[in-house]
Amino acid sequence: SAQIADLQQKLLDADNGDRAKQRWDSITTILEAKCALKYLLRELVSSKVQESKLQSSLEQSQASCSDMQKMLTEERNHTAEQEAEFQNQILMQEQQHQEKVNHSLWKSW
């Protein structure tokens, strides 16, 4: 029964495809041609509107991505600067400590 249902669905799908083709093939009057042309133009306009919306969305996404990349680069630079500053502070503290140790050793002699 599953195979029968599958075959019936395939027949329906094929029939619907054939019907659409037959509709276009069976246009015989100017009125039918006008109706078909109006339909095609509506579909074209709809597609163009959708394309425009998608293009706009893409451009916004690209701009947002560019902004995020710029922010990320700035944050990385800031982090690198802080890291360098902290390393410098550690070095200075180590030097001060060494000077104190040396000074204490000289005093004790």
Look at residues 21, 18, 23, 51 and name the one whose alpha carbon lies nearest to residue 35.
23
What is the pTM (predicted TM-score) of this model? Answer: 0.53
Cα 72 to chain center, whole Å? Answer: 17
CA distances from 92 to 15, 56, 89, 100 (A): 85, 54, 5, 12
Q: Print pLDDT tens along the chain (109 aa).
A: 888 888 888 777 766 666 666 667 777 788 888 888 898 899 999 999 999 999 999 999 999 999 999 999 999 999 999 999 999 999 999 999 999 988 888 877 6
Dihedrals phi, psi of 27, to nearest 5 degrees: -65, 120
